[in-house]
Amino acid sequence: MRTIAVLPVKSFGRAKQRLTGGFPDRPGLAAAMVADVLDALAQVPELDQVIVVTAQAVSADRRVTIVHDPVEAGQSAAAARGIEAALERGAERVLLVPGDCPTLDPREVSALLAIRAGVVIVPDRHGTGTNSLLLTPPTVIAPAFGEGSFARHRGLAEAAGASFHVAQAGSLELDVDTRDDLAALRRALGARPGGAVRTRALLEEAAVA
Of 157, 162, 159, residue with least CA distance to 130:
157
Mean pLDDT taken over the chain: 87
First-last CA distance in the chain: 48
For 26, phi then psi, to 5°, come to -60, -45
List domains and CATH numbers for the chain.
Answer: 3-208 (3.90.550.10)
pLDDT at 37: 94
83 with 138: CB under 8 angstroms? yes
Between residues 17 and 25, which one has the greater pLDDT? 25
More confident residue, 99 or 83: 83
Report pLDDT for 189.
Answer: 82
Contact 166, 151 (CB under 8 A): no
Calculate what percentage of the chain has a pLDDT beyond 70.
89
> Does pLDDT of 24 surpass 90?
no
- The dihedrals phi and psi of 135, each to the nearest 5 degrees, come to -120, 125
Q: What is the pLDDT of residues 87-124, one digit of tens each?
A: 999 999 999 999 888 889 999 999 999 999 999 999 98
Which residues does 21 contact at the CB level (< 8 Å), separation at least 6?
Answer: none
Query: Looking at residue 139, what is its pLDDT?
Result: 97
Tell whether 178 is in a known binding site.
Answer: no
Q: Is 130 annotated as a binding residue?
A: yes
CB 92, CB 135: distance < 8 Å? no
> What is the rounded distance in angstroms from the CA atom of residue 156 to the CA atom of residue 170?
24
13 has pLDDT over 80: no
76 appears as a binding residue in the annotation: no
Over residues 76-85, mean pLDDT: 96
Q: Tell me the pLDDT band of 15, cut-offs 50, 70 and 90.
A: low
Which one has a higher pLDDT value, 17 or 165? 165
pLDDT in tens, 158-177: 999 999 999 988 888 877 77
Judge whether 115 and 25 are in contact, CB under 8 Å.
no
Average pLDDT over residues 23-28: 73
In contact, 34 and 58? CB cutoff 8 Å? yes
0.95 exceeded by the pTM?
no
CA distance 84 to 182: 32
Q: What is the 3-state secondary structure (H, E, C) of 99-161?
A: CCCCCCCHHHHHHHHCCCCCEEEEECCCCCCEEEEEECCCCCCCCCCCCCHHHHHHHHHHHCC
- pLDDT given for residue 84 in this prediction: 97
Q: Name every residue whose Cβ is closer than 8 Å to that of residue 126 and which is 6 or more positions away in sequence.
A: none
For residue 187, pLDDT beyond 60 = yes
CB 51 within 8 A of CB 82: yes
